[in-house]
Structure 1
Amino acid sequence: MTALVLGSASPARLQTLRNAGIEPTVMVSGVDESQLEGLPPAELALQLAELKCAAVAERDDLPEGALVLGCDSVLDLDGAALGKPEDAAEAVHRWERMRGRSGVLRTGHCLRDTATGRVAAATASTTVHFADLADDEIAAYVASGEPLHVAGAFTVDGLGGAFVTGIDGDHHNVVGVSLPLLRDLVAELGHSWTELWTPRPSR
């Protein structure tokens, strides 16, 4: 078994990995995400993922031979990168722009093998189609608090799921980590995906 370290505080990413049979060690990077403002969405997501991965990989309390994963997600709407809204007013404004339209959720992934120092990185992109919400639905959703804590001000696996009418691409990427892409990165570094599975207790 190869240990995976998740450099993210996202509960959704952690649960996605757990559902896929992986029990990662969580170590939050603490990277200042504002330092790369102004970059195109795909580049921003990838560079932030690389920074987060590098920050965690430098720690001296990592499991021996671990793979360190850094991720970052932004919603690409009209070429602008939308992360977490700063406040409720911004979340309302976002949804007034998003409703009835489509955006591209871009998640940067960076994986480092601490045993070899090798790094593999890529960005996954998934098109998300949003329902045409009424003003009162936007107000109620923002009042729930959920949009304030997630990139793009929406979820597909929570209260926001009813407001997403369709997805073109990897569903897991919208939640925060693309499992097929991560499998490819693991293979690029010379490992097998099944090495990451946590052994199940025997019955």
Structure 2
Amino acid sequence: MRLVLASASPSRAGILRAAGVEPVLHPADVDERGIEKLLAGQPAAEVVAALAEAKAQAVAGNYPQDVVIGADSMLLLGGKLQGKPHTPERTIERWCEQAGKEAVLLTGHCIIGPHGQRWEETSATTVRFAAASASDIAVYAATGEPLECAGAFTLEALGGWFIDSIEGDPSSVIGLSLPVVRRALYSFGLDVSSFWA
């Protein structure tokens, strides 16, 4: 039995690898923007949960004997959900909005077990952003690192310089909550250690 990650995120794969698991990588092909539009006006936690569920469901049929993990993260800043910035210009705009402020990083999880069991949980972690200088923000955006990251930052790499503190699960901020995955596996009657490489 294997853990299948329905994501192209190197950060999510890195979390599992650092935790002793070599995941099967099968990025899900889902219309994320379409799902977000469909759920416009719904609570933020429901949006990330729906995105995670869509990813897990898109992949699960290919792995009936394995555990499939779908996850999606977005930053809730001032009541507005922020996804990936995609461009250096948008990254700089985002950082001008969030520098020196507090926001909540939401990570939705949908985990499907080998007998069709499901575990859905959204974790919320408070992130306190540093009042980063305009020059540092511009250089950080130019590195490309934050362009495909929810909230335009990483915790585990260069972006860590600009995070003053977090309150909650660090792995969830990186993109995948190990405690959530553990709870899911236990609910399926599986041990975490059985997936270690």
TM-score band, normalised by shorter chain: over 0.9
Letter in 2 for 1:7: A
> What's 1:50 paired with?
53
Contact 1:40 1:79 in 2 (8 A): no
> What's 2:11 paired with?
12
DSSP-derived class of the 1:75 partner: strand
Contact 1:71 1:108 in 2 (8 A): yes
> What's 1:77 paired with?
77
Contact 1:40 1:80 in 2 (8 A): no
Letter in 1 for 2:81: A
Q: Percent identity?
A: 42
Unaligned runs of 5+ in 1: 199-203
Matches within 5 A, 1:96-135: 96-113=96-113, 115-135=114-134
Q: Deviations over 1:18-75 (max 9, x none)?
A: 111111100010111101222432111111000000000123xx3x610000010001
> What's 2:22 paired with?
23
Give the TM-score taking structure 2 as reference length. 0.94
* Residues in 2 aligned to 1:34 and 1:112: alpha-carbon distance in whole angstroms: 23
Pair 1:181 & 2:180 matched: yes
Pair 1:93 & 2:93 matched: yes
Q: Deviations over 1:141-193 (max 9, x none)?
A: 11111121111100011111100011111111111111011101111222222
> What's 2:155 paired with?
156
* Residues in 2 aligned to 1:21 and 1:74: alpha-carbon distance in whole angstroms: 26
Aligned length: 193
Give the TM-score taking structure 1 as reference length. 0.91
* Residues in 1 aligned to 2:79 and 2:192: alpha-carbon distance in whole angstroms: 34
Letter in 2 for 1:88: P
DSSP-derived class of the 1:23 partner: coil
Q: CA deviation at 1:99?
A: 0.3
Contact 1:41 1:75 in 2 (8 A): no
